[in-house]
Amino acid sequence: MKKTIRLCIALSILICGQQVKSQDIHFSQIFETPLLRNPALAGLFQGDIRIQSVYRTQWNSVTVPYRTGSLDGEVKLPIGKANDYLTLGAQFLYDKAGTVALTATHILPTINYHKSLSDDKNSYLSLGFIGGWVQRSIDRSKMTTNSQFDGVHYNENLSNGESFTSGNYSYFDVGVGMSYNSQIGENPDNNYFIGLSYQHFNKPKKLSFYTDNSVEGTPKIVGSAGIRMSITDLSYFTIQADYSKQGPYTETVAGALYTWKFGNGENPQYAFHTGAYLRWKDALIPVAKLQAKSVALAFSYDANISPLRTASTGRGGFEVSLTYQKFFDRYNTTKEAIRCPRF
């Protein structure tokens, strides 16, 4: 049974690589991958710099594990003497999938401009762009096809019958997004955001290992929202959700984290976050996150609830993330700013 599943998954990877109709790279910890969701979410944090890294491994119980990694960096800069800001950043993605080692590498710089809409409270409209280079490759030596079956058994000396000559291709990819971020009431720690992004709007061409130049990327729309509200002086909850649509495929992820602050002093620098997310009709995702001053470490696990659970025995994907976030020690840091985009 497992051999059959592995073969089906390997074939599906090759087909997706040829037709590009599968969904994009995604993570369960959407709260640690803002640039993947929407470039206009860059800079929505308390601090001047944020560096985030996420590692995911999936389907260990079904086939060769799928491994995905991301590294994001953002720097938020005040513009002039107004309350406007500019965020510069970059996103690096790496994904290696299945038996045939379908590998994708993304290098995507981003820029986001935050326009202040109020002198009385934090209220920002942001416009962001992301774009760069993407390469995909496949290990042809790991492919096996029916053409290598000689009627009795598999013969590796026979041709696999595939006509593509190159095991890799690359293309330029571009996305754009907008978001609105605002304070709730008088407490600047209570806030929300809504955002909408349009990814792959340039519809990159020639996305095929074959010579078929008609294969192009499918644009994706991502709607995002989040709200953060204080419960007590030392606790708050955060709710976030994403809805993505790419061609006929949709994905909905939503969840909540409850946070306790602890430590000495009036401004505790330690916190523990716990909660769960749900990927609709796919996985339940418990989350635990520990924050110590400028560094945070989070763990999550996808408990599979889709029809695939029969083969996966309920096991899905494990994720771990590491975040570094702080204010600069300089004259124009946002630490003392009265108005600043944040979440």
pLDDT at position 190: 95
Looking at domain 2-135+167-336, which of 3.40.630.10, 2.60.40.10, 3.40.640.10, 2.40.160.40 is its CATH number? 2.40.160.40
Q: Which residue has the tokens 């040829």?
A: 18
Residue 313: per-residue pLDDT: 57
Paired residues of 262 in beta bridges: 270
3-state SS string for 87-151: EEEEEEEEEEECCCCEEEEEEEEEEEEEEECCCCCCEEEEEEEEEEEEEEECCHHHCCCHHHECC
> In this predicted structure, what is the pLDDT of residue 142?
74
pTM: predicted TM-score of the whole model, two decimal places: 0.86
Q: Per-block average pLDDT, block size 10, for the chain (343 residues)?
A: 38 38 77 97 96 89 79 93 93 88 93 94 96 90 72 71 75 97 92 97 83 82 97 95 94 97 83 97 95 96 78 73 92 83 92
- Give the closest residue to 135 by CA, choosing from 163, 100, 108, 164: 108
Which pLDDT score is estimated for 63?
A: 64
Domain locations in the chain as residue ranges: 2-135+167-336
Place of tokens 């991502």: 222
